[in-house]
Copies of this chain bind each other. A is one copy, B any other.
C-alpha cells in the first residue's frame, strides 16, 4: 500500500503564523514575549537545538535569552536560577536544556520552574496537572504527536495506540494526552517481553525510545499509522528515527518522516506555549 508521509511543515507553518500574530499583539502592549533557555552543558546536540530555538523565536518575534550556567553548575545553582526566572515578571517561559551536569537529575531541579512558565511541561506539577486534566503545559514533543495525527485526520478516539517508550518527557505525558483523546493506550518499553505482540494489534504505533530502527515492518500490522519521535544521530551525523522507514514503507498507511515530522511541530508548539504563558500571566 502507499504510505502517506505525515510531514510536519504545514502544521508548523499554520501554528507559527498564529504565534507570530499573537507575539506582535503582545509586543504592541509592552515588551516582546520572552523565553529563557537555561543551559548547563556543552553537548553538541543541545548546542544545535538551542541555536535552532533561538532562530525560531527570532522569526516569530519572541525574545529568546540563553542563560548559560556552565557545565559545572550544581543542582543548587540550577534550582536557584530557575526560581529566580520563575519570579521574574519579565520572563514568560522557561525551558531547561538537557543533558544536565553529571549527578544532576532533571527531577532534582525541574520543580523549581513555576507551572505557569513551564512551557515544556517538565516539572512534576506540570505532569500531574496533565494527568488530572487541569490547565498546564504538556511537554511539546508529546503534544506534537497528537496534534500531527489530528492535523492529518488520523482518528484517535476508540482506537488502539501503542506507545513504545515510557520516559517522563515523552511516553508518559503522551499517554495522558492520548487518553484525553479517548484512545485506548498501551505503553511498552525496554522491559516489555514481546514488543511485536503489543505493537501489531495497534491502529497507531508511536516510537519514542531513542533507539535507531527499532520498529520494523514486523512490528506493525498492514495499514497501521506509525509516528516516529526518535532523533538518533548515525555515524555520519545524520538524524534517523526509531522506525526503520524503508521496511515500514509500503506496509504502514502513514509514517512521519525524520527529520521533518514531529520535530518542527514540537518547536512550533513550544513557541505557542510561550505566547500562551505571556497572554495568561501579563
A residues with a Cβ closer than 8 A to B are 107, 123-134, 157-160, 166, 168, 172, 175-176, 179, 182, 184-189, 191-193, 197-198, 201
Complex Cα gap A172–B168 (Å): 14
Would you give the shortest CB distance from A13 to chain B, in whole angstroms?
32
In the assembled complex, which residues on chain B have CB atoms less than 8 Å from the CB atom of A182? 189, 191
A160 touches B198 (CB 8 A): yes
Number of copies: 2
Listed A/B pairs (26) with beta-carbon separation below 8 Å:
A107-B134, A123-B128, A124-B128, A124-B129, A124-B131, A124-B132, A124-B134, A125-B128, A127-B127, A127-B131, A131-B131, A131-B172, A159-B193, A160-B193, A172-B179, A175-B187, A182-B189, A182-B191, A184-B187, A184-B189, A184-B191, A184-B192, A185-B186, A186-B187, A197-B201, A201-B201
B185 touches A131 (CB 8 A): no
In the assembled complex, which residues on chain B have CB atoms less than 8 Å from the CB atom of A131? 124, 127-128, 131, 168, 172
Contact of A193 among B158, B168, B197 (CB under 8 A): B158
Given A128-B129, A160-B198, output 20 extra A-B contacts at Cβ < 8 Å.
Answer: A107-B134, A123-B128, A124-B132, A125-B125, A127-B127, A127-B128, A127-B131, A128-B130, A131-B131, A132-B168, A158-B191, A158-B193, A159-B193, A175-B175, A175-B187, A179-B189, A184-B189, A184-B193, A185-B186, A187-B187
